[in-house]
Structure formats: C-alpha cells, structure tokens
Amino acid sequence: MSVPPSLTRAEFERLVAEHEELIRLANELEYQLYRLAGARDEERVTECQQAGGALIGHLRGLLFRHDQQILPILEASLAHDPG
C-alpha cells in the first residue's frame, strides 16, 4: 500500500491565503462593477477590467493548483478509505 500524498502546514496555509485572495479579488470586482454602473467613464472601465483580469488570473492559478496538487491528495485519501 502506498502512502497518500499530504499537505505540509506551509502548503495548507498557502492554500488558505490563496482562498482568501480569491475572495478579496471577487469582492473588488463586484465593487468595481457597482461603481461602473453609477457612471461610465474610461477610468472606471479600466479599473473594472483590471479587477476582472486580476480575479481571472488568480482563479486560473488556484484551479490549476487544485487540479495538480489538491485533487490528487483527496483522490488518494478516498482510495484508502473504501467506505
């Protein structure tokens, strides 16, 4: 029986920090969209685009990490738990 991969404390804390950053970026995008609805000017459109781009970039990185590191750990733990 092989030993399932595991997360170190530092990796877990990084995952939590990435999750919190994803929440912050989503909130920032929501705020920029709210501001954009109030008055359409070029500066607010640019700020909204930047907020959206930051959120999408972070989301892609986090989803890639989940695909490459987190999901294999969960899958391995399920393989060792027949219940």
CA angle 45, 31, 58 (to 5 degrees): 85
48 found inside a domain: yes
DSSP summary character for residue 68:
I
Q: Could you give the number of structural domains in the chain?
A: 1
Q: What is the model's pLDDT at position 14? A: 87
Residue 80 lies in a domain: no
No. of helices (H) and no. of strands (E), the chain: 3, 0
Residue 17's identity, in one-letter code, is: A
**pLDDT value of position 1:** 46
User: What's the confidence (pLDDT) of residue 53?
Assistant: 92
Chain centroid to Cα 75, Å, comes to: 20
Q: Which residues are CB-contacts of 47 (< 8 A; sequence separation ≥ 6)? A: 32, 35
pLDDT at 70: 86
Domain that holds residue 36: 10-72
77 lies in a domain?
no
Per-residue pLDDT of the chain (83 residues), as tens digits, is: 455 567 788 888 888 898 899 899 899 888 888 888 777 688 888 888 899 999 999 999 999 988 888 888 888 877 776 55
Is 48:39 a contact under the CB 8 Å cutoff? no
Q: What is the CATH number of the domain that holds 41?
A: 1.10.287
Asked, for residue 4, whether it belongs to a domain, the answer is no
Structure letter (DSSP) for residue 39: -
Per the domain annotation, does 60 fall within a domain?
Answer: yes
